[in-house]
Structure formats: structure tokens, C-alpha cells
Structure 1
């Protein structure tokens, strides 16, 4: 399942001046069609890239109707904070490689 993002409420950050955190999360509408919601998040956030859970997550992504949208969202993550999880059928190392490839294509264009 895609990582939810903190939503800005009325132009303010999730952290207001009083130090309280607004925990209302903004989740894209397309996630309701994602297969990961039916499987369980622990499969998509395994610690070992080659383990059974990771393979199971990638197999689910291969059948998911919103895989491309999920991958596009994951590629928009800040690369330094994108160290865990399977999104759009890719792990963190695969997403880093895709980002590098995309950057090289933008430079060449």
C-alpha cells in the first residue's frame, strides 16, 4: 500500500505552532483498487530484499491494476527517505536505478 502523506490543512503544515501534530492523512483515491490492501502491509515492508515476503509482494504487484500509478508515486518520494518497501513491484534499489535512468534521459533530452 502506498505510503500516506501528511496533508496540509488550510495552508498550514501538519505541525502547528502549538506543537501538536495533525495526523489526518491524505491517501490517493486509486489506492482503493490496490491489491496490497488485501494482503497486509507486513509483506510489503520486509527487512530482507530476497526473502519470501518480498517475492510475494512483487508477485502481487505484478497482478495489481494500479501498479504503474503506485510506482510513479514511489518514484516521486525523496530518494533519501525511500529505503524500505515494495511499491509498484520495485524495491528501494530498483527505484534508485529507475530514478537515475530517468534523470539521464532528462539530461539527454
Structure 2
């Protein structure tokens, strides 16, 4: 969602951005195509994200966009995140994990972006990135780094897997089952949990359906 389509609905869940923040939004520039924020084409989405990461009001835009997200469906790119990422961020907050958006903004600033991109390829996990950045003297947590990685164009999954369905199921059971069951008990759909995990929707849903039915009904797995 580009700010060109944001109206005056009040944000009741977080501090409201200042009323004049939209005038500084990058998506208002003449060289930015507003359609890129709503397309399903990868090239257009990439251009939208590139505009967002350069935007001085990306934090304000994300807050306002999330105030307009209704129900479980999310559409378009707003505040630098696509719909699935914003849904995953909502589930993070269900778990009590609230990002420090000012710190995330610092991580995608010219001073730190290069370091963040290198860590995306070298650390192999969000936890590893957190440890490395703390070693650099930054007080960061997983969800803050996750938002910054999304803003920088990365995937930021909680699950590092290589496309093998059996391996994914084993990893979910071994490393994430407690959180998955907690999210399901809070009303998260299979698609929502897959978004939170950061795995492809269809693959993630199949894996979750394979491992959860017996556990959710109290039967032996």
C-alpha cells in the first residue's frame, strides 16, 4: 500500500504518525510508479521495496499501513513490507515480540545496510545475525532484525531449510512445535503460521497439516 491511498482512519493500536508525514514519502516522487506497490510482478515489487528502503518515513508508513490491514488478508506493499510479512509481524506481536522500528530503520541506513546484507548470507539464521550485530555494539532482537532484513529485500525466515518436505517437517517438530501450537491456539491459520515461519505458503501448510492434527486434538502424534 503506497501512502497515496492512505486516508484518515485513526490508528488505535500504536502512536499515530505526525499529520504531515506523508509529504516526505518516497512514493510521491515523480520517478516512482504507484502501481508497483500493488502489482504481483516481481520486478515491480522489487522497485517498490527499493523506494521504501530509501524513504525517510518508512516507519510512519508501516504503522499507518498496519492500521488499515483488516482481518487476515493483507494486500500490497506498504511501509516496506508485503502482505505476508505484515501478517507475520502481527503474529510476532501475538507472541509478545515487538520490533524496535527505529533500530530497524538504522540497520537499513547507508551506515549499516552493507553490514546487514553481508550478514544475511554469512550467518545463516536470524539468531546468528542478532549475535553478530550485538557484537557490533547494537542492542537488537530477532524481530527487529527480521523487519530490517525484510526492508533490505531479504526473506528472514525462522526456518532455514533447503526445500526438502521431510526435512521441513522434522525441523518444525524439533525446533518450533511449541510456538506453532501456541499460535494455533490463538487462532492463527495454517497459512498464517507458514508466513510467520517464513516458508512457502503451500509447502508450509502441507507440513503443518501433516504434523498437527493429532496433537491439536489431543491424540498421539
Give the TM-score category using the shorter length.
0.5 to 0.7
Kindly provide the CA deviation profile for residues 10-36 of structure 1, in whole angstroms up to 9, marking residues without a partner as x. xxxxxxxxxxxxxxxxxx421110001
After superposing on structure 2, the runs of 4+ consecutive aligned residues of structure 1 that deviate more than 4 Å are none
Unaligned runs of 5+ in 1: 8-27
Q: What CA distance in whole angstroms lies between the structure 2 residues aligned with 1:78 and 1:87?
A: 10
Q: CA deviation at 1:102?
A: 1.1
1:94 equivalent to 2:85? Answer yes
1:53 equivalent to 2:44? Answer yes
Kindly indicate whether the alpha-carbon contact (under 8 Å) linking 1:70 and 1:87 is maintained by their aligned counterparts in 2.
yes
Matches within 5 A, 1:1-109: 1-2=2-3, 3-5=5-7, 28-38=19-29, 39-48=32-41, 51-80=42-71, 82-105=73-96
Q: Which has the higher contact order (CA 8 A, sep 6+)?
A: 1
Specify which structure has the higher proportion of helix.
2
Q: What CA distance in whole angstroms lies between the structure 2 residues aligned with 1:79 and 1:36?
A: 22
Kindly provide the CA deviation profile for residues 66-97 of structure 1, in whole angstroms up to 9, marking residues without a partner as x. 00111111222233275321111100000000
**Which structure's CA Rg is the greater one?**
2
Unaligned runs of 5+ in 2: 10-18, 98-221
Q: What CA distance in whole angstroms lies between the structure 2 residues aligned with 1:100 and 1:91?
A: 15
Q: CA RMSD in A?
A: 2.1
TM-score by length of 2: 0.35
